[in-house]
Amino acid sequence: MFTIAQYWKKSATYKVFSSLGLETKHFISTIGQIAQMGLRMIRRIFIDGVQFRELFVQCERFGISSLPITLSIVGMTSIIVSSQVANEMVKQGGSGLIGMLMTILTVREVGVIMSGFAIISMIGSSLASELATMRVTEQIDAIDVLGVDSVGHLFTPRVLSGIIMMPVIVIIASVFGVILGGVASNIFSGLSYRAYFTSVWLGLYMKDLWVCLTKAAVFGGTIALISCTCGYFAKGGAKGVGLATTKAVVWSFISIVIWDMIFAMLFFF
């Protein structure tokens, strides 16, 4: 005979609460792993310093390799937005403010958010799969056996490269986006380039630039740290590599959206 406990465990309600409990446990565990690796990396920086040769290699990978796709995403987004905004602004007599609107939108949000998405898709997933492969093939264990701290050796150059290169990428992408916004405005609404670029600086302040660069550095470090952490704790062979990569991408997307909301609330509300 089935007991009440057995009936309860077979019910849909139990399965829902069990699933929620498991996901909550994974969430807390992942947060703890990310915090642990971040603190451990900072500690190793003060003890062992920075491997500048490896840092330069990772900066090239983080910046130059990801630049084409970043410019493509930011540029296309600016074209889409400006093609829709410019027509309406011209109809309402606001043609002299189109450049200002596109610049503020690009510097505050589009440039950094779309750059972050591009970096996650290309670099974040690459970092996670690289470290996950090293973990399942026991290369990280070999590093530890040799007496080298694997976190300092693998995390430090990758996370620092994200902090250093992300602002550079965002600056280039934002300028590119503003320029393409002017081209699209001219094509779709007939707005002259002079009118567009004259209004570019009307609503842009140093505060916007500093917030943008700070946000970019935080995004870059967060993406690299999450991706490396997910890869570092991978297990289960080829399937584990895939799961770690997926986990890194999802967590990175969620984290930069949360960071973006925090920055907006702190500086623009």
Are 84 and 184 a contacting pair, CB within 8 Å? Answer: no
Q: Tell me: the pLDDT tens digits for 27-52?
A: 788 888 888 888 988 888 888 888 88
Question: What's the CA gap between 142 and 85, in Å, rounded?
Answer: 56
Kindly tell me if the per-residue pLDDT of 8 is higher than 90.
Answer: no
Q: Tell me: the pLDDT tens digits for 231-267?
A: 999 888 888 899 899 999 999 999 999 999 999 999 8
**132-150: average pLDDT:** 88
Kindly tell me if the per-residue pLDDT of 2 is higher than 60.
Answer: no
pTM of the model: 0.88
Identify the domain containing residue 185 by its residue range: 51-267
Instruction: Pick the more confident residue, 165 or 10.
Output: 165
94: confidence class by pLDDT, cuts 50, 70, 90: confident
Structural domain includes residue 46 = no
The DSSP symbol for 204 reads: -
The DSSP symbol for 148 reads: -
Nearest to 73 by CA among 18, 117, 30, 133: 117
> What one-letter code names the amino acid at 207?
K
1: confidence class by pLDDT, cuts 50, 70, 90: very low
Are 119 and 172 a contacting pair, CB within 8 Å? Answer: no
What's the pLDDT score for residue 10?
Answer: 66
Structural domain includes residue 79 = yes
27 token code pair: 């969430």
Structural domain includes residue 8 = no
Kindly tell me if the per-residue pLDDT of 5 is higher than 50.
Answer: yes
Average pLDDT score, the chain:
87
168: confidence class by pLDDT, cuts 50, 70, 90: very high
Structural domain includes residue 38 = no
Structural domain includes residue 141 = yes
250 token code pair: 């999802």
Question: What's the CA gap between 184 and 176, in Å, rounded?
Answer: 12
Structural domain includes residue 43 = no
Structural domain includes residue 110 = yes
Question: What's the CA gap between 127 and 154, in Å, rounded?
Answer: 10
96: confidence class by pLDDT, cuts 50, 70, 90: confident
Structural domain includes residue 128 = yes
Domains held by the chain: number: 1
